Amino acid sequence: MALPRHQLFLFLVAMFVSFADSTVPEDPLRLFHQASPKDKNFIMQSTQHVLKLKSFGKLGLVSSSLKMVNVNDYGAHGDGKTDDTLAFKKAWKVACSSAGAVFVVPQKSYVLKPITFSGPCKSNIAVQISGTLEASDNPSDYSGDRTHWIMFHSVQKLSVNGGGTIDGNGNIWWQNSCKRNHKLPCKKAPTALTFYRCNYLTVEDLTIKNGQQMHVSFEESKNVIASGLTVTAPEDSPNTDGIHITNTQNIQILNTVIGTGDDCISIESGSTNVQATKITCGPGHGISIGSLGSGKSKDFVSGVTINGAKFSGTTNGVRIKTWQGGSGSASNIKFQNIEMDKVMNPIIIDQNYCDQATPCKKQKSAVEIRNVLYENIKGTSASDVGVQFECSEKFPCKGIVLQNVELEREDGEGAKASCNSVQLSYRGDVNPQCP
């Protein structure tokens, strides 16, 4: 079976980006300004390899010997009823041990219990999901691991695409959430799709919906491109972050639409050089850096750029949230070219974040926040306060810059700014400004 040209092209991109340099400078923002050719980031290098691939194709050097591993050939029914987990495990074992393979999920509906696709593999893997993967809705099936449904673990040079759907079937989990029923104990629920320690990773052209809790999580990975994703869940679904990033370096999220019951994108400790471009967010809680510093932890996030985003009817727009009592820093952050439409808190920094039933006690330490740029941000606020900086008295927010910011209330009246313990400056036209 010959691999269609566009799928073969995506697979070979994943193969050739393995030559990219994974070094992360101490200051990730230098990647865009001062890097030597050796230190160019993953995105620049992969672009060069795409050009090389086109040349190889013209020379007739593209191999047609890739092994096609179709889950149906290993016993998968795809009838939307039968448990196909074992068939997927068998097919993955063959693909992972092959010298270059495409793991094929045809246009059928496959029911899966929790499953981990483990590496390292013998060669590069392209996963083509054209059908629908549907999660088992029996909580007892997750007794071995309550926090994951589909996970790719330590698979390098991996490409996942195909236009299909990953359905977490999350309603049974939402019904039993303490956020829905305060009488119930708070328990963890599975993340629909997790990439753990996967370097040189491409994920594109997929729909991920109704996650049991988080939808997509990138953890301890390097050199990641995620593009053309659609992530959806009901507005009242609890803790259903769209894309979660933790301890991951050199990741770019492109042309993605997210509407869930929690953060559209959440960026947590250990993440550097994170870029999100052309993001549509709503409903949800906006794009959040944090929370950081919970449980008195020492957390670091740096080199984040959100460039080109639209927020519609979200609880927050661009937010940085940290717990009292933590330490570390959130630094070198840019929020640029953003449109707000009826957003409750368009711009917010909260160093006194508290997400628990009882009030949080006042602490002496805090995660420091510095060097944050808000540039070309316009639109409407659903509340009177369009800009809110609630910073620590002992560790004020430093180097906060607002440039060409214009926010007004839905009724056309001017919005307000609320500012505590923040060192900031203005460039261009800025409204509202701190009293």
Which active-site residues does the annotation give?
285
Amino acid at 32: F
Indicate if the alpha-carbon torsion angle 359, 331, 188, 136 is positive or negative.
positive
- Among the listed residues 337, 347, 425, the one whose alpha carbon sits nearest the alpha carbon of residue 376: 337
Amino acid at 220: E
- Phi–psi pair at 73, nearest 5 degrees: -75, -10
> Roughly how many angstroms between the first and final C-alpha of the chain, as a whole number?
68
Cβ-based burial of 307 (10 A; exposed 0-12, middle 13-18, buried ≥19): middle
- Cβ contacts of residue 9 below 8 Å, gap of 6+? 53, 57
Strands 271-281 and 165-167, by their bridges, are: unpaired
Amino acid at 296: K
* 262 in Cβ contact with 286 (< 8 Å): no
Return d(Cα 133, Cα 111) in angstroms, integer.
6
Return d(Cα 232, Cα 216) in angstroms, integer.
11
* 100 in Cβ contact with 123 (< 8 Å): yes
- Phi–psi pair at 54, nearest 5 degrees: -60, -40
Q: Which helix (H) or strand (E) holds 287?
A: strand 287-292
* 301 in Cβ contact with 293 (< 8 Å): no
Cβ-based burial of 312 (10 A; exposed 0-12, middle 13-18, buried ≥19): middle
